[in-house]
Amino acid sequence: MGMALSETPQEVLYEVADHIATITLNAPERMNTISSAMLDQMSESFLRAEKDSDVRCVILTGSGRAFCAGLDLASQMSGPKDALGGLGNIGAGAGEFDLRNAPPVVLHNMDTPTICALNGGAAGYGLDMAFGCDIRIASTTAKLNPGFAKRGIVPESGGTWLLPRMIGYAKAAEISFTGKTLTADEALSLGIVNHVVAPEQLLAFARSMAIDIASNAPLAVRAIKRMMRAAETETFEQNIHHVFLQLLPLFKTKDFQEGVAAFMEKREPDFIGR
């Protein structure tokens, strides 16, 4: 059973099974548009999963027919937060922005691998949150709406940084400047999503991939993710040196010993995360 991270309203569900944390946006009546309460609960959920040594992979998804249709503007306009965490004080100075605790920043700084299971439409803030995950699996019913320019705003939650790195500048420019909605198959052909599956198969497919990830040595997987993220701002030589420094402590782990033993004994390894 899922449980809410904060008191009412119960807008984010959190559950852990088989080393996998499933975080579900739970406001289907409004297409999971993000309220102030949901923002807080999302950050809490990400941090909870990141701090739990039993969690080796996170699945982010939505309830109902949409993944997330963006910010709940009615709620946000009355809230005290910034553009990454609400639009309340829209004229506030930059010194009042709480970027560190905003969900896109918390998500980006996670070492735990993340999979976004796009159960339906994603727009605005919701689209940027999907971009912020490491892997995206889309239902055939999912549509990606990058229509920021059509609303007179910019992708405020990471899209301008994430999308060009995912698919290259020229394609990202075309998508962002035109604001054209993409089907799941179009997103697949562009490399924005990894797989497209039937709606009834989505969570099972995402969970199967998460189990594959969770079956590997968790310290090594987290280190690989850190090194891939670091590589986005490092030179080749810097990253090679950085990777070597990450490798040395892994040699001392029980999981490394288990990985070698399992290979030599031709069996599946049993990793413990130490």
> Is a pLDDT exceeding 50 seen at residue 6?
no
Q: Does any domain span residue 274?
A: no
pLDDT above 60 (res 160): yes
Confidence label for 226 from pLDDT (cuts 50, 70 and 90): very high
Taken in order 36, 47, 105, 18, is the CA torsion positive or negative?
negative
My answer on whether 128 and 254 are in the same domain is no
Share of the chain above pLDDT 90, in %: 76
pLDDT exceeds 80 at position 4 = no
Task: Provide the number of structural domains found in the chain.
Answer: 2
Segment 4-8 shows an average pLDDT of: 50
CA 253 to chain centre: 28
Average pLDDT over residues 31-36: 92
Percentage of the chain beyond pLDDT 70 is: 87
Q: Which domain holds residue 242?
A: 218-264
What is the pLDDT at residue 76?
Answer: 53
Out of 32-36, 88-92, 110-114, give the one with best mean pLDDT. 110-114
Confidence of residue 25 (pLDDT cuts 50, 70, 90): very high
Task: Indicate whether 260 pLDDT > 90.
Answer: yes
193 touches 118 (CB < 8 A)? yes
Amino acid at 133: C
Among 214, 239, 254, give the residue marking a domain's end: 214
Region 106-118 average pLDDT: 97
Mean pLDDT score of the chain, rounded to an integer? 88
Write the CB contacts of 63 (distance below 8 Å, at least 6 apart in sequence): 13, 24, 25, 26, 27, 28, 32, 119
pLDDT at residue 18 greater than cutoff 50: yes
Calculate Rg over the CA atoms of the chain: 19
Query: Whose CA is closest to 112, among 20, 203, 246?
Result: 20
> What pLDDT, on the 0 to 100 scale, is given for residue 151?
77
Mean pLDDT of 69-78: 69
Domain shared by 97 and 222, yes or no: no
Q: Which residues of 223-242 are buried (b: 16+ CB within 10 A; e: fewer)?
A: bbbebeeeeeeeeeeebeee
> If pLDDT is split at 50, 70 and 90, which confidence band does 86 have?
very low
pLDDT at position 45, please? 97
Domain match, 222 and 103 both: no
Q: Is the pLDDT of residue 197 over 90?
A: yes
pLDDT at 94: 43
Residue 31 CA neighbour count, 13 Å, CB half? 17
Within 10 angstroms of residue 151's Cβ, the number of other Cβ atoms is: 12
Q: Quick check: 73 pLDDT over 90? A: no
Backbone angles phi, psi at 81, to 5 degrees: -100, 180
| Domain shared by 157 and 45, yes or no | yes
d(CA 38, CA 227): 30
State residue 272 phi and psi, 5-degree precision: -115, -5
Residue 273 lies in a domain: no
**Ordered alpha helix ranges (H), 58-168:** 73-76, 103-108, 125-132, 159-167
Q: Is the pLDDT of residue 261 over 70?
A: yes
Which 8-state DSSP code applies to residue 28?
Answer: G
Q: What is the pTM of this model?
A: 0.87
Same-domain check for residues 209 and 84: yes
Q: Same domain, yes or no, for 251 and 156?
A: no
Domain for residue 137, yes or no? yes
